[in-house]
Amino acid sequence: MVMGRCDLADAEWERLRPFLPVSIGRCGRWRDHRQVVNGILHRVRTGVQWRDLPERFGPWKTVYERHRLWSADGTWERLLQQVQAEADAAGEIDWDIAVDAPPSFKGGHSGRTPGRYAVAESRRPPSGGGAGGEGLGRSRGGFTTKLHLSADGRCRPLFRYRR
């Protein structure tokens, strides 16, 4: 297998490998996890469409299906938790947490700004991200939404929460 310069290094792969699910043989053999994970990381890094993944990652549909399956069954969340626990036990995480929630401003197309795109009061969706809401809120700068991310002292993400 030809490795790209941004693929997982051997040390990185050995750190992740023990936490990945194993095939139970009911559906045949799985394609090599390392090849598929490198394909997923390539897509995340480049933003390329699934169908345009380079052939060295295997069939694009296999990479897509594994990503979808692991997202749905919580594998990615467990992987993050387990790798973080291992790194914490080794003293590799600096727990001086920085939380930043920069506002993301929405323009007139958000449907909440007076003027050309104004929506009648009775037709406005509820704010606050509830059923049918858009998570928009008023601030001094106008209508915004916030993204929340916690990072350790080395600017590595620890967990994400929504507000």
Within-domain flag for 155? no
Which residue range(s) make up the domain with 27?
10-73
Note the pLDDT of residue 22. Answer: 81
Q: Do 111 and 68 lie in a common domain? A: no
What's the number of domains the chain is made of? 2
67's tokens: 């990503």
Q: Do 15 and 52 lie in a common domain? A: yes
Within-domain flag for 48? yes
Within-domain flag for 133? yes
Within-domain flag for 79? no
Which residue is associated with the tokens 């929506």?
119
Within-domain flag for 66? yes
The answer to whether 57 and 42 are in contact (CB under 8 A) is yes
Q: Do 68 and 106 lie in a common domain? A: no
Q: How far apart are CA 137 and CA 159, in angstroms?
A: 23
- Residue by residue, pLDDT tens for the chain (163 residues) are 556 677 899 998 998 898 888 876 666 667 789 999 999 999 988 999 999 999 999 999 999 999 999 999 999 989 988 888 888 898 888 777 666 555 555 555 555 555 544 444 444 445 444 444 555 566 666 666 565 667 777 777 776 544 4
Q: How far apart are CA 58 and CA 35, in angstroms?
A: 7
User: Helices 60-72 & 33-46, crossing angle to 10 degrees?
Assistant: 90
Q: Do 16 and 56 lie in a common domain? A: yes
Within-domain flag for 92? no
Q: Do 16 and 68 lie in a common domain? A: yes
Q: How far apart are CA 14 and CA 151, in angstroms?
A: 24
CB atoms within 10 A of CB 125: 14
The pTM of this model reads 0.58
Note the pLDDT of residue 129. Answer: 46
Handedness of CA 125, 128, 129, 130 (dihedral sign): negative
Within-domain flag for 82? no
Within-domain flag for 106? yes
